[in-house]
Amino acid sequence: MSYNDYVLQAILEIPLSEFDGDMRIPTRLETSMRGAGVYTLQETFTQYPNEKSLLSAVQVGKKTVRDFVAILEELEKRHGVQFEWLENPKT
């Protein structure tokens, strides 16, 4: 397993409730995801193939989902990993 794969796997397994500081997931999104039985990034990506499907599935505003996407983009920048989920926007 490459270092990037290791980092990505570790990130995907982080519970959504553990994000804080600069990378805080908005409470409304975390609460909605919990209601949908989604607790980690991996589960989010498995159940929702893209930003549009997430937006339609959880009752949160576009700004909240944009904040979530911004967190993923920041993870990509900081750790050099790629989230396929971000490559299928608004489909």
State the pTM of this model: 0.54
Spatial contact of 62 and 23, defined as CB atoms under 8 Å apart: no
Q: How is domain 3-87 classified at the CATH fold level?
A: DNA polymerase; domain 1 (1.10.150)
Per-residue confidence of the chain (91 residues) as pLDDT tens digits?
Answer: 776 676 677 777 777 766 654 555 556 666 667 766 777 777 877 887 777 787 777 666 677 677 778 878 887 888 787 777 776 654 3
According to the model, what pLDDT value does residue 90 have?
47
According to the model, what pLDDT value does residue 91 have?
38
Rounded distance between C-alpha atoms, residue 57 and residue 54, angstroms: 5
- What are the residues whose beta carbons fall under 8 Å from the beta carbon of 28, sequence distance 6 or more? 60, 61, 64
Q: Where do the domains of the chain lie? A: 3-87
